[in-house]
């Protein structure tokens, strides 16, 4: 990490603001601004936060939610230091693993009101590859929505603009009645990140193709004779 980059980061308004106000990351203000505009936490009881480390979004969710009987669950590959709030829990694991996805689903009593995804892969420096890997993580969040999210729930997901994001937006609209494209003020102006704000799942929703059940179109070979076949058998 270069000294110049560190200097620029420390000079940023939201970075300093997070330090002053006790938030673990500047991205806390992204979620605050999303909620200010869309009111995603109104009446929310259960929230799932994917890619939750270091815990800034968990802090915001716990402040906005008044129902202490609900669950705010954060999931990340990295361990998240406890924020010492009773209804906040965490899972360390790879959300791409089926076992981790099942652990997430089983953690909730009922369904989630809000699913948040701020997930991003480790950058390789190849934009097409990095962008595709990030959209794949976003699709995992969409898959969890199909199983875990309430019909009138909210899905907030980060994407990076590029060739694949256009296809993903269409996939989102196959799942939700409302999909808004939003960039919070707390996002860096030069960043290509955007957030999709989705609400109300469709009854006739369709998952992205990679998650749809495979249909075997190969017909089984039937060796039983069809009536009348004997008319075409040659005699020895």
Please give the residue range of the domain that contains residue 98: 25-210
**Other beta carbons within 10 Å of 124:** 9
**Long-range contacts of range 178-181, CB-CB < 8 Å, 24 or more positions apart?**
180/38
Q: How many helices (H) and strands (E) does the chain have?
A: 7, 7
The domain tally of the chain equals 1
Max Cα-Cα span within the chain = 96
Q: pLDDT tens digits, residue range 45-93?
A: 999 999 999 999 999 999 998 667 899 999 999 999 998 888 999 999 9
Q: pTM of the predicted model, to two decimals?
A: 0.84
- Domain assignment present for residue 12? The answer is no
Q: Is residue 215 part of a domain?
A: no
Please tell me the predicted confidence (pLDDT) of residue 3. 54
The CB density around residue 66, as the number of other CB atoms within 10 Å, is 10
Judge whether 172 lies within some domain. yes
- 170 located within any domain: yes
What pLDDT sits at residue 234?
42
Which pLDDT band, with edges at 50, 70 and 90, does 211 fall under?
A: confident
* Those residues with Cβ within 8 angstroms of residue 111's Cβ, 6 or more apart along the chain or in another chain: 46, 148, 149, 150, 153
Q: For this structure, is 158 an active site residue?
A: yes
Across the chain, mean pLDDT equals 86
Identify whether 145 is part of a domain. yes
* Annotated catalytic residue within 32, 45, 150, 158: 158
| pLDDT, tens only, 128-173 | 777 888 999 999 999 999 999 999 999 999 998 877 889 999 999 9
CATH code where residue 170 lies: 3.40.50.150
Residue 92: inside a domain: yes
């Amino acid at each position: 990490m270069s000294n110049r980059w560190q200097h620029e980061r420390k000079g940023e308004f939201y970075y300093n603001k997070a330090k002053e106000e006790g938030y673990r990351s500047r991205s806390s203000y992204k979620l605050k601004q999303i909620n200010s505009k869309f009111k995603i936490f109104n009446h929310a009881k259960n929230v799932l936060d994917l890619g939750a480390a270091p815990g800034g979004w968990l802090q915001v969710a716990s402040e906005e939610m008044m129902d202490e009987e609900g669950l705010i669950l954060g999931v990340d590959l990295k361990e998240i230091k406890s924020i010492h709030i009773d209804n906040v829990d965490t899972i360390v694991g790879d959300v791409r693993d089926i076992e981790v996805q099942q652990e997430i689903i089983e953690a909730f009593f009922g369904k989630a009101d809000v699913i948040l995804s701020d997930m991003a892969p480790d950058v390789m420096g190849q934009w097409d590859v990095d962008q595709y890997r990030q959209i794949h993580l976003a699709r995992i969040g969409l898959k969890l929505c199909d199983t875990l999210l309430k019909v009138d729930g909210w899905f907030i997901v980060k994407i990076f603009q590029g060739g694949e994001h256009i296809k993903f937006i269409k996939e989102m609209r196959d799942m939700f009645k409302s999909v808004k494209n939003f960039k919070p003020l707390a996002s860096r102006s030069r960043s290509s990140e955007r957030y999709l704000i989705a609400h109300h799942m469709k009854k006739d929703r369709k998952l992205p193709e990679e998650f749809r059940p495979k249909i075997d179109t190969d017909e089984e070979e039937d060796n039983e004779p069809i009536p009348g076949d004997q008319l075409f058998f040659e005699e020895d």
